[in-house]
Amino acid sequence: MAMGLRLSSELVAGVLVGAGLGWGFDRLLSTSPWGLIVFLLLGFTAGVMNVMRTAGVMAKQSERL
């Protein structure tokens, strides 16, 4: 259960932060709705990457140093 909660919260955090960033970007630069679209997709990508790192499918960031 701990693993499932970890994986799901990584993905949810990614999408939420992406949406938040896009919304703020749109508000500042009045580029609605393009910022939201782009940042939501980028956030989703980052979330999926974190999920894959957590699951051990993908190399951790620290292994690149």
Partner 1 sequence: MAADPIHQFEITKLFTIGHIGGQEIAFTNSSAYMFLSVAVISLLMLGTGRQLIPGRMQSVAELSYEFVASTIRSTAGSEGMKFFPLIFSLFMFIMISNFIGIIPYTFTVSSHLIVTVALALVVFFTVLFYGLYKNGLKFFKIFVPSGVPIAILPLVMFIEVLSFFLRPVSHSVRLFANMLAGHIALKVFASFIGMLGALGFLGWAGAVLPLGLTMALTALELLVAFLQAYVFAILTCIYLNDALHPGH
30 is a site residue for partner 1 (CB under 8 A): no
Question: At 27, is the secondary structure helix, strand, or coil?
Answer: helix
**Per CB under 8 A, which of residues 8..27 are in contact with partner 1?**
9-10, 12-14, 16-18, 21
How many residues in the shown chain lie near partner 1 by CB under 8 A? Answer: 27
Instruction: Report, in Å, the least distance between residue 3 CB and partner 1.
Output: 9
Given the rule CB under 8 A, which residues bind partner 1? Answer: 1-2, 5-6, 9-10, 12-14, 16-18, 21, 42-43, 45-47, 49-50, 53, 60-65
